[in-house]
Amino acid sequence: MPGNLNPANPVDVILAGFYTALSEELRIESFINSYPDGSSDRINLAQNPRHFFRITRRMTSAQYSALWTFFSNHLISPFFFYLPRETQPPFTPDPTGAATSGRYTVVWDGNWSDQVQLGRSEVSLGLREVV
């Protein structure tokens, strides 16, 4: 039924210091129904593209613990993410989440992924925009 979903209500912001490498992907996801004769029906699940982000960072054990705490506290709850090039002025994300330019409401996309090394660990996480 239209109108029966509550919008996401994020209250936290992932800190820009949690990532040093960032990649962005735009997807228009669709439902594909394939038939044995090779034909198919395709229906867009959304009219606008959805943003997917991948953040990566090498970090110390204290930074690792802080990110793990943030990750585990937001397993099912949305949070804000700032795309640095879209903020005003550029590359100045707002840690309070009040500024709207460059801000996306996101959830985790996938699992926690890390490589533990001596002295530093590398963490790579996916984010999916919630529309």
Residue range 45-93, pLDDT digits in tens: 878 888 999 999 998 888 899 999 999 999 989 999 999 889 999 888 8
Residue 1 forms part of a structural domain: no
Residue 3 forms part of a structural domain: no
- Mean pLDDT (the chain) is 88
Residue 10 forms part of a structural domain: no
**What pLDDT score was predicted for residue 108?**
94
Percentage of the residues of the chain whose pLDDT score is greater than 90:
46
Residue 116 forms part of a structural domain: yes
Residue 47 forms part of a structural domain: yes
Which residue segment(s) compose the domain that 104 sits in?
16-129
**What pLDDT score was predicted for residue 4?**
64
Residue 46 forms part of a structural domain: yes
**What pLDDT score was predicted for residue 109?**
93
What is the number of domains present in the chain? 1
Residue 1 in this model has a pLDDT that exceeds 70: no
Residue 7 forms part of a structural domain: no
Q: Name the nearest CA neighbour of 124 among 108, 107, 112.
A: 112
The CATH number of the domain where 46 resides is what?
2.40.30
Q: What is the mean pLDDT of residues 115-126?
A: 88
Residue 59 forms part of a structural domain: yes
